[in-house]
Amino acid sequence: MKTMKAIVKASQQLGGLELRDVPFPTPDDDQVLIKIKKTAICGTDIHIFNWDAWAQKTIKTPQIIGHEFVGEVVAVGRLVSTVKVGQIVSGEGHLVCGYCRNCISGFPHLCCHTVGIGVNMDGVFSEYIAFPASNVWVCDPSIPLDVLSIQDPLGNAVHTALSFPVLGEDVLVTGAGPIGLMSVPILRRAGARYIVVTDINPERLKLAKELGADATVDVRSQTIQEVVAKFPLIREGFDVGLEMSGSASAFSDMVEAMANGGNIAILGILPQDQQVNWNKVIFSSLTLRGIYGRQMYDTWYKMTALLQTGLDKDVAKVITHNFDYTNFQEAFELMAAGKSGKVILDWSE
């Protein structure tokens, strides 16, 4: 039997990743076969690596993990006419049903049967993958491969940053992880007036400044209000908030810092027992919107347009490490220790 290498969550424990020989995939009639060139490690993969409560509930072992990738099409199924051999492609990792109310109404990002590649089924950390043609995104090959490999989280940033109008608005971003960082140049291009970013990591806050934040707040030593006091034009609080930390206290800080009528988009995965100051939400007429994934495929279209007009340079700054895929263990440990931005695994020989 023909085999290929893949990174598999093999055992139900901290770490538990193995490089294994797995069966070589054969694409179905409506799939394409992709030779993986680069993959990136997501926070979700770190949850699986750490084998936390969410991973224990969600992941069936053994399973190939990973969902952020770029590769080259090497074969297409009999029914595929939209993708060609030789194209550089990435893909939407949320597979939708196509028949639920939201799918048939043109809102597949709201599908109630969404299945996640690398989470609910085998993922992309492998030499090849058979991928549904419907979910393939054909890339502009002039954009660097490293950048193309992180379109999944970049798409989270695009979708979240554009979920409310920001032209002329003051925006608070809680969390300067890769997604929070990438949202800054997008907010800038969308016309935000002031962009303030919070975190507890000085290096990440420095990068936020480089990417165009007007001010940063290290919430370990400063309050948002102390920093906002230096901006006389921000009189009544923030108009738009992007929660991108998953931290309970960051979300609470954000709610307090919003102007009446403000809009909050929540991407960060907050704890189940998150406390919310409902009096502030109600009496300040705040809108809270949960964000999952990306809009199919408007986010991908806008993201490509942004990358083709300079965003690729900004996005490249959040990539801090490149490893050969065989050194995956070191890459995961580095990322799990919080000592990196985006970490890329290289699969091209």
Give the H or E element holding residue 304.
Answer: helix 298-306
Q: Which residue from 194, 207, 205 is spatially nearest to 166, judged by alpha carbons?
A: 194
Cβ neighbours of residue 11 closer than 8 Å, sequence gap 6 or more: 61
Interface pick for ligand NAD out of 250, 265, 303, 306 (rule CB under 6 A): 250
Minimum distance of Zn ion from residue 111's CB (angstroms)? 3
100 binds, among ligand NAD, Zn ion, none (CB under 5 to 8 A by kind): Zn ion
Interface pick for ligand NAD out of 31, 204, 234, 237 (rule CB under 6 A): 204
Nearer to ligand NAD, 163 or 174 (CB): 174
Give the H or E element holding residue 265.
Answer: strand 258-266
Minimum distance of ligand NAD from residue 144's CB (angstroms)? 20
111 binds, among ligand NAD, Zn ion, none (CB under 5 to 8 A by kind): Zn ion
Which region, judged by CB under 6 A, interacts with ligand NAD, from 133-141, 143-151, 162-170, 242-250?
242-250
96 binds, among Zn ion, ligand NAD, none (CB under 5 to 8 A by kind): Zn ion
Which pair of structure tokens corresponds to residue 315? 């996005």
- For the beta sheet containing 258-266, the strands, ordered from the edge strand earlier in sequence to the opposite edge, are 215-218, 195-199, 171-174, 238-243, 258-266, 287-290
Q: Is 109 a catalytic residue?
A: no
201 part of the interface to ligand NAD, by CB under 6 A: yes
177 binds, among Zn ion, ligand NAD, none (CB under 5 to 8 A by kind): ligand NAD
Interface pick for ligand NAD out of 139, 267, 296, 311 (rule CB under 6 A): 267
Asked if residue 94 lies in contact with residue 293, where contact means CB atoms within 8 angstroms, the answer is yes
Minimum distance of ligand NAD from residue 59's CB (angstroms)? 15
Task: Convert residues 43-62 into a mask of x (bound to ligand NAD by CB under 6 A) and - (unbound).
Answer: x-------------------
Q: Which residue from 249, 220, 216 is spatially nearest to 231, judged by alpha carbons?
A: 216
Catalytic residue among 47, 67, 109, 159: 47
Catalytic residue among 39, 44, 198, 299: 44
Which pair of structure tokens corresponds to residue 34? 């992709």
Determine how β-strand 68-76 pairs with β-strand 88-91.
antiparallel
Region 119-178 residues binding ligand NAD, contact defined as CB under 6 A: 153, 156, 174-178
Minimum distance of ligand NAD from residue 341's CB (angstroms)? 8
Which region, judged by CB under 6 A, interacts with ligand NAD, from 6-14, 138-146, 196-204, 276-284?
196-204
Nearer to ligand NAD, 179 or 286 (CB): 179
Nearer to ligand NAD, 27 or 178 (CB): 178
Binding site for Zn ion (CB under 5 A): 96-97, 100, 103, 111, 113
292 part of the interface to ligand NAD, by CB under 6 A: yes
Cβ neighbours of residue 23 closer than 8 Å, sequence gap 6 or more: 1, 2, 3, 4
Interface pick for ligand NAD out of 179, 195, 213, 240 (rule CB under 6 A): 179
Q: Is 264 helix (H, G, I), strand (E, B) or coil?
A: strand
Q: Is the dihedral of CA 141, 127, 129, 116 positive or negative?
A: negative
Exposure of 66 by Cβ count < 10 A (0-12 exposed, 13-18 middle, 19+ buried)? buried
Residue 257 to residue 228: CA distance in whole angstroms: 9
Residue 96 to residue 108: CA distance in whole angstroms: 6
Q: Is 44 a catalytic residue?
A: yes
CA 228 to chain centre: 28
Contacting residues toward ligand NAD, per CB under 6 A = 43, 153, 156, 174-180, 198-201, 204, 219, 244-247, 249-250, 267-269, 291-293
* Positions marked active-site: 44, 47
